[in-house]
Amino acid sequence: MIIVKNLVKSFDNQKVLDNINLKIEKGEITVIMGGSGCGKSTLLRHLIGLIRPDSGEILIAGEDITKMDEDSLDNLRKRFGMLYQSGALFNSMSVGENVALPLREHTKLDNRIIEIIVKMKLELVGLSGFEDLLPSQISGGMKKRVALARALALDPEVVFYDEPGAGLDPVSRAAIDKLIIDLSKKLNITSIVVTHEMKSAFSIADKIAMLHAGKIITYGTASEIKNSQNEVVQQFISGSPEGPLTQRRTGKEYLATLTGK
């Protein structure tokens, strides 16, 4: 479904993505895992064409999106759903109006039909009858579900999730994880989930790619990742404070990595 080839992107002379190669299979849940600031969101933004790489290709259904003009990208994005890290609901609009937004923006359906679709999407995420509430009246987990219902509004083939469990308690997080699995299997949606939470990654992933220092250091099923011999992967899984991820540096050495001197 999606093939990333030799993707490179730098910000301020710092290579954030350093020759990324990745294949995302249709209908599967692919988890992109890695520490804070390792470039997960940056990779995701490339996949939906919000950022253009310095070099490399991103093939979606055979077409290189890094070379597409903005109009074609807009068209392509209608086939994508995106659950942003912040959720990003409009607080002044009701739950139902938030979910209706993509339908009003991208279709000419009349109100009566939009209302029916909104009801269906809210039912999919377990929030039937919540149309008239305001975001301020519901919990963090519910807000994530509303944002997900909105991401599903246009019946996407692919849904991107950026840290779907961030800021949620363990029970709400597990509920969102279960929802991601259900939607993927029931609606045959290709899902790309960015997370740094190992428990979520192992419970939802068909495939896991671990991003570290700009590269995919390991890729495979949950059990393949658990058996990885890579020390960085093992430290990440165990959450140990000691290991290659926590090399102690002096202030001077650290400064040198920032300035390149």
| Smallest separation (angstroms) from ligand ADP to the CB of 146 | 23
Pick the closest to residue 58 from 34, 33, 75, 76 (CA basis). 76
Token pair of 109 as six digits: 């359906």
Tell me how far CA of residue 13 lies from CA of 152, 215, 255, 260, in angstroms.
37, 16, 15, 9
| Smallest separation (angstroms) from ligand ADP to the CB of 209 | 13
CB count in 10 Å sphere of residue 223:
8
16 binds ligand ADP (CB under 6 A): yes
Task: Name the binder of 19 from Mg ion, ligand ADP, none, CB < 5-8 A by kind.
Answer: none
11 binds ligand ADP (CB under 6 A): yes
41 binds ligand ADP (CB under 6 A): yes
Radius of gyration of the chain (CA): 19
Cα–Cα distance between 60 and 68 in angstroms, integer? 11
Cα–Cα distance between 102 and 107 in angstroms, integer? 8
Binding site for Mg ion (CB under 5 A): 41
Task: Name the binder of 42 from ligand ADP, Mg ion, none, CB < 5-8 A by kind.
Answer: ligand ADP
Nearer to ligand ADP, 133 or 213 (CB): 213
Token pair of 11 as six digits: 């910000």
Handedness of CA 104, 138, 189, 24 (dihedral sign): positive
Nearer to ligand ADP, 183 or 210 (CB): 210
**Residues 42 to 61: which contact ligand ADP by CB under 6 A?**
42
Strands 29-33 and 158-162: unpaired
| Smallest separation (angstroms) from Mg ion to the CB of 8 | 19
Nearer to ligand ADP, 40 or 207 (CB): 40
Tell me how many residues contact ligand ADP (CB under 6 A): 10
Residues at the contact surface with ligand ADP, assessed by CB under 6 A: 11, 16, 34, 36-42
